[in-house]
Amino acid sequence: MPKTNTALSPAVHNEKRYDSRLQDLENAVRKLYNSAKDHLPFHGWHHIYFVKTKAVQFANERRANPLLVAAASLVHDLNYVVRSNSTPDAGRQLRHEFLREAGFERPDIDRVEQIINEAHTATRSETISAEGAALSDADTLFKALPMTPVVFSHLYLTENGIGLRELAEKIVKEQLPLMEEGIYFYDSAVRDRYFPWAEANMRLWQEIVDSLGDPDIVDLLREVDIKV
């Protein structure tokens, strides 16, 4: 009777190694966020885990590389650990350290960096990879959730030390052009499902900007210690 060859193929070995690296990365990032949760009430582990979960789902649906998308999702906001109210550049060194320690090699690290920069809200464009689009759509969805203005926005203000006017103007300035260009969400199925939420969210922030032109409303907010 012939012996069964139980040896794993190189492809399976590589897949298992990659899965191990991803799990090591997630464990390390989660540990960091748990230790910094008092300083990251908005960009904390709850945000990272939601974005990773949705980004991997979107990646699988559009045949993007889910492992690279997951890795990018886990480290995409490490700049906020380094410095509040910062851009992705601020977290580049820390991202690379976490990826290297988890066993990622330079080509994958460079690709993860590219995905993160592609997906950055303030600078993203119509030209984007499938992986960048998956991360972008997941991160954008968190912004567009109906409960985000109610449950999470005050946490963003606290975390970044900014006022309501600055946040509202930032959201309208960065996100409204993406809506007008048709790239607020990249995937058509995601757009069909979630764009009504995004439209309602944007209308709210536009009305907030408009309302802050009334000095009596500004005085009202200051009376209850809301930074304007």
CATH number at residue 28: 1.10.3210.10
pLDDT surpassing 60 at residue 195: yes
Are 114 and 132 within 8 A, CB to CB? yes
Are 139 and 193 within 8 A, CB to CB? no
* 31 found inside a domain: yes
8-33: per-residue pLDDT in tens? 333 333 455 558 999 999 999 999 99
Q: Which domain holds residue 159?
A: 10-223
* 168 found inside a domain: yes
- Rounded Cα distance between 206 and 228, Å, is 15
* 1 found inside a domain: no
Query: pLDDT grade, residue 4 (50/70/90)?
Result: very low
The beta-carbon contacts of 184-188 under 8 Å, at least 24 apart in sequence, are 184/140, 185/137, 185/140, 185/141, 186/128, 186/133, 186/136, 186/137, 187/58, 187/61, 187/62, 187/133, 187/134, 187/137
| CA distances in angstroms from 228 to 83, 131, 214, 224, listed in the order given | 22, 37, 12, 11
* 169 found inside a domain: yes
* 5 found inside a domain: no
Please state the domain count of the chain: 1
* 26 found inside a domain: yes
* 176 found inside a domain: yes
- The whole-model pTM stands at 0.90
* For residues 50-79, average pLDDT: 97
* 4 found inside a domain: no
